[in-house]
Amino acid sequence: MQELSNTFWDAFGLLLRFDADLYEIIGLSLKVSFTALIFACLIGIPLGALLASTPFRGRAVINVLVNTLMGMPPVVVGLILYLILSANGPLGVLQLLYTPTAMILAQAVLVTPIVAALSRQALEEMNEEYTEQFKLFGLGKTEILKTLIWEARYALLTAILAGLGRAMAEVGAVLIVGGNIDHLTRVMTTTIALETSRGNLAIALGLGIVLIGISLIINASLYAMRYTAKASRYG
């Protein structure tokens, strides 16, 4: 019990002393996850809107694919990307393996289906409500997608934040394609795994506290936004 308590105090000490290494890791984690999230949203939200609003050949197949990818084990995604990005792989010439770019790619691949599926779910119901009205407004397909996305903005934030949570918690794929290289590709989750195995529990716990803090902030923001949207009936 005493040891646990000491570890906690050491972890807080590291955070409060603004340990440079620790904050470098936190900074890289946020950079990788937010960049991946931006790419995931740029692809996932329009894809979700398209799946929700436009009947086309092969839509069912894409729906099944998106749902399947949502549950894809991160290590498998990491392995596939490793094969693609390694020196002998199709994209080996880009020399992206063991770089933050590879980690962004891995997280984007994992998060895009989540954002797409949750967006589709949010937009499907709204599309049903608005279909006739959109026709009466004379909207074309692109305008319908744009309007739907704007109308569902609060619901889509849930999808975006769920994606961010998934990206921040990711360890398997980024470990494989990033390599957990000190001062280059070391992020919070991979550091926690490494330092725990080394017995440096204070660093691991310090980062764990930061991760929980971020998760708390994400969920509190989500709750506040949903509450505001509900109160003003914009959501």
- Which structure tokens are listed for 225? 């936004």
Residues comprising the chain, all counted: 235
233: three-class secondary structure by DSSP: coil
Least distance (Å) between residue 133 CB and another protein: 5
Helix (H) or strand (E) holding 27: helix 20-53
Q: What gap in Å lies between CA 44 and CA 76, rounded to an integer?
A: 20
Least distance (Å) between residue 63 CB and another protein: 24
Least distance (Å) between residue 115 CB and another protein: 20
> Closer to another protein at the Cβ: 10 or 124?
124
> Closer to another protein at the Cβ: 98 or 134?
134
> Closer to another protein at the Cβ: 148 or 210?
148
> Closer to another protein at the Cβ: 82 or 130?
130
Least distance (Å) between residue 224 CB and another protein: 17
Applying CB under 8 A, the residues found at the interface with another protein are: 129-130, 132-133, 135-139, 143, 147, 151, 232-235
Q: Return the DSSP state at 178.
A: H
| Burial of 121 (C-beta count, 10 Å sphere; 0-12/13-18/19+) | middle
